[in-house]
Amino acid sequence: MSAGYDHDEWETVIGLEVHAELATCTKLFSAAPNEFGGAPNSNIDPLTLGLPGSLPVLNQHAVELAIRVGLALNCTVQRSVFARKNYFYPDQSKNYQISQFELPINADGWLELPSGKVAGIERAHLEEDTGKTTHVGGGGRIHDAEHSLVDYNRAGVPLLEIVGRPDLRTPEEARAYVSELRAILVAVGASDGKMEEGSMRVDCNVSVRRRGTEELGTRCEIKNINSLRSLGRAIEYEAARQVDLITAGEQVRQETRHWNEADGRTHTLRSKEGSDDYRYFPEPDLVELAPSEEWIEEVRATLPMLPAARRHRLAERTGVELDRTALIVERGLDELCLTAIDAGADPTRTLTHAEHNLSDERAIGLDPAAFAKLVGMETDGQLTATQAKTVLAELVEKGGDPADIAAAHGFEAMDTSELDGIVDGLIAEHPDEWQRFCDGDGKITGFFVGKVMKATQGKADGKVVTSILQQRKG
């Protein structure tokens, strides 16, 4: 296996299928609770177990959440039909899954990555989740297990399957796509988007082709990707594997592959029934789902501002590059920054703080007026950058007035004349070092700044000290 292939020659084409569990109280077609965890087979009812005579009744809240996501992904929300996807597997209590096939509720959308790139969404349809099977004994796989245990707690949980178009080209883009999708799902309140709890699951289609060719290569679908990091690794591995096959004169076989986190490879996964004939047909126990225009517009009116729009707003209002806004919006600090800036805070300093000094989750509750006042004190030279950071941390933790916090720490603006005296004294005490400074040894600057800081107990502004040194050098 080549560690890397020539990225100038080969292009990776990536399309993602994301399954998001919708944050409803109950399951998609029954009143059994939709909760993560719980004792095995505690969140069940006749429908969840596929008991004879049970019937599905569609959860309207799940539909509303699906519409919210559809609108947020710029999809057409349309008349849709549920269909049965038939295959035998013990974690599926009816041996068919109620999904949407020909007519999904959401079709033809897109999302914008922080880089500004637009990635297409083919569809986002509603379906029910399966249960979980634990294979006991053997290698933990169904084929050599001694026996298997099935937990139906997850069976019937509402899922939205969001099928992306093959518009992504690098592992970084794939990760950015998943992050963006997660941010949208959380923003509209549709899902908690936790990959580690399985409430957001990513299947990844990868193919490679020579740059400049239009035709798509044969793709493989990779399952069992449990983190953004794995996503990137799996794509790197799989693309390299495919390039190796092709350059060795072999062909890529279309198949489903399993990502193994431990060995960092993908492996052929046996298909569920030996073939892909799911014998779809319209679900006769449900009627078609046709949300009215009024309902769709009502839902649209309650959507919050979405991450992409917030990034553009922040970039426009502050004049920074679009890609610099991503982290701040991801942290949910854009509103805080804009309010502080409106209150007079310097935009650059404000964003710098948001990027570097506000990783604490509680930062979102920061009082914008206090934040603005702090930035103002720093701009006016009343606080050094280091002092401002200290005050900000305490503001996040306890709140209060930045001036009071600064005073409590004994942070006072140093008189420049006082600093002049300290610097002159140091030059006199350390003639050798001073000579090196005058000879242009930049490394020695830190020596003087450090001495000044020590003498002033950190109250001095390093930048001011450097400028005094430069003045003395003449």
Partner 1 sequence: MLEEHLARIAEREGEIHAFNLVTEDLARAAAQAVDERVAAGEDPGPLAGVPVAIKDNLCTRGVATTCSSKILEGWEPPYDATVVTRLADAGAVMVGKTNLDEFAMGSSTENSAFGPTRNPHDTSRVPGGSSGGSAAAVAAGFSPISLGSDTGGSIRQPAALCGVVGVKPTYGTVSRLGLVAFGSSLDQVGPFAATVEDAARVCEVIGGHDPADSTSIPSRFPSVTDQLDEGVQGLRVGIVTEMTGEGIAPDVAARVRAAAEALAAAGATVEEVSVPAVTYGLSAYYLVAPAEASSNLARYDGVRYGLRVDAPTTGEMMVATRTEGFGDEVKRRIMLGTYALSAGYYDAFYGTALKVRTLIRRDFDAAYERFDVLLSPVTPTTAFPLGEKTSDPMAMYLSDVCTIATNLAGHPAMSVPYGVGDDGLPVGVQLLGPTLGEVPMFRAAAALERSLA
Q: Which residues bind partner 1 (CB under 8 A)?
A: 46, 49-58, 84, 86, 88, 90, 93-96, 142-143, 148, 150, 277, 279-281, 284-287
Q: Which is nearer to partner 1, 31 or 305 (CB)?
A: 31
Q: Which is nearer to partner 1, 60 or 471 (CB)?
A: 60
Two tokens at 60? 């309207």
Parallel, antiparallel, or unpaired for β 255-260 and 220-225?
parallel
The rounded distance, in Å, linking the Cα atoms of 225 and 445 is 50
Shortest spacing between CB 23 and partner 1, in angstroms = 23
Give me the DSSP letters along 74-143: TPEE--B-EEEEE---TTSTTSEEEEE-SS-SEEEEEEE-TTS-EEEEEEEEEEEPP-EEEEESTTSSTT
Shortest spacing between CB 50 and partner 1, in angstroms = 4
Shortest spacing between CB 226 and partner 1, in angstroms = 25
The rounded distance, in Å, linking the Cα atoms of 32 and 156 is 9
Is 82 within 8 Å of 286 (Cβ atoms)?
yes
Q: Which is nearer to partner 1, 295 or 447 (CB)?
A: 295
The rounded distance, in Å, linking the Cα atoms of 68 and 101 is 20
Shortest spacing between CB 290 and partner 1, in angstroms = 13
Give me the DSSP letters along 340-382: HHHTT--HHHHHHHHHHT--SGGGGG--HHHHHHHHHHHHTTS
Q: Which is nearer to partner 1, 137 or 421 (CB)?
A: 137
Shortest spacing between CB 61 and partner 1, in angstroms = 16
The rounded distance, in Å, linking the Cα atoms of 148 and 137 is 9
Shortest spacing between CB 39 and partner 1, in angstroms = 17
Q: Which is nearer to partner 1, 38 or 90 (CB)?
A: 90
Q: Which is nearer to partner 1, 118 or 287 (CB)?
A: 287
Cβ neighbors of 194 (< 8 A, separation 6 or more) are 200
Shortest spacing between CB 266 and partner 1, in angstroms = 25
Query: The tokens 């996503």 sit on which residue?
Result: 231
The rounded distance, in Å, linking the Cα atoms of 207 and 156 is 32
Alpha-carbon torsion (391, 397, 400, 404), positive or negative: negative
Half-sphere exposure at residue 14, Cβ-oriented, CA atoms within 13 angstroms = 28
Shortest spacing between CB 56 and partner 1, in angstroms = 7
**323 CA to centre of own chain:** 15
Shortest spacing between CB 90 and partner 1, in angstroms = 5
Shortest spacing between CB 265 and partner 1, in angstroms = 27
Two tokens at 126? 């509603």
Shortest spacing between CB 53 and partner 1, in angstroms = 4
Two tokens at 422? 């300290």
Q: Which is nearer to partner 1, 140 or 365 (CB)?
A: 140
Q: Which is nearer to partner 1, 280 or 295 (CB)?
A: 280
The rounded distance, in Å, linking the Cα atoms of 249 and 119 is 32
Is 156 within 8 Å of 29 (Cβ atoms)?
yes
Q: Which is nearer to partner 1, 93 or 199 (CB)?
A: 93
Q: Which is nearer to partner 1, 58 or 228 (CB)?
A: 58
Bridge partners (DSSP) listed for residue 147:
136
Q: Which is nearer to partner 1, 83 or 113 (CB)?
A: 83
